[in-house]
Amino acid sequence: MTEVPDENGKGKRKPAGAAVLQESVTSAILRAAFAELAETGYARMSMDAVAKRARVGKAAIYRRWTSKQDMVVALSAQVGVPLAEIADTGSLRGDLLAYLRATSKLLRHPLASQIVPDLLAEGAREPVLAQVFADVVERPRRERATELLQRAVERGELPPDMDTDLALDLLFGPLYWRLMVSRERMPPGYVDRLADTLLAALVALPSVAAHA
């Protein structure tokens, strides 16, 4: 159900459409759905609007996916994967900065910044959305960040019995709060100061066993 057909199936066609040259119908639909999702939100997004924006008949959409939900799930799966790379810069502080900068750039993306909170909220009602979001965004990010912390432990920059669970919340939380919830602008040097503060917080982190 969820599979996205390869670009160009058996029956190929030349561009044909007016403006969108050289683009397959499938990718035109997904691109339109992405934009529409950002503008309108999942709940209000209409398939007619997607078809219209993609200069496509609705039949072309339902030939590929069985429903709006199915299409959005496929779209999320395709978009979510490539955004989970974190570089190894050789030091914890460098890795932190790289991660914070990458995340900040991502969360400032005009489309993503609208879609992420929307799908997150909708996920509370449509479990399949929450699932794909967890699998395709949340988990990869968490894994990359865990590797980042593990590298610091191996370098001796962090203690081995560190509370990873809490550390991850410290990495993700403040930046997400500022950019997605509070939505205030970041003053110059904000990311650098955040990195320094997180550095201090991480080395002061109680071990997993600590209870008070």
Partner DNA sequence: ACGCAACGGAACGGTTGCGTTCCGACGCCG
Partner DNA sequence: CGGCGTCGGAACGCAACCGTTCCGTTGCGT
Give residues in contact with DNA (CB under 7 A): 9-14, 16-17, 25-26, 28, 44-49, 54-60, 62-63, 66-68
CB 184 within 8 A of CB 178: yes
Minimum CB separation from its own copies for residue 155, in Å? 20
d(CA 166, CA 182): 22
Cβ burial of 26 (10 Å; 0-12, 13-18, 19+) is: buried
Site string for its own copies, 19-48 (x = CB under 8 A): --------------------xxx-xx----
Which partner in its own copies, DNA, none is near 206 (CB below 5 to 8 A by kind)? its own copies
Binder to its own copies among 18, 21, 59, 200 (CB under 8 A)?
A: 200
Site string for its own copies, 161-190 (x = CB under 8 A): --x-xx--xx-xxxxxxx--xx----xxxx
d(CA 124, CA 105): 26
CB 54 within 8 A of CB 23: no
d(CA 178, CA 183): 6
Angle, alpha carbons 125-174-143 (nearest 5°): 70
**Which token pair is 70?**
């199915």
Binding flag, residue 121, its own copies (CB under 8 A) = yes
**Which token pair is 111?**
């489309």
Minimum CB separation from its own copies for residue 8, in Å? 35
Residues near its own copies, by CB under 8 A? 39-41, 43-44, 114, 117-118, 120-122, 124-125, 138, 163, 165-166, 169-170, 172-178, 181-182, 187-190, 192-194, 196-198, 200-201, 204-206, 210-212
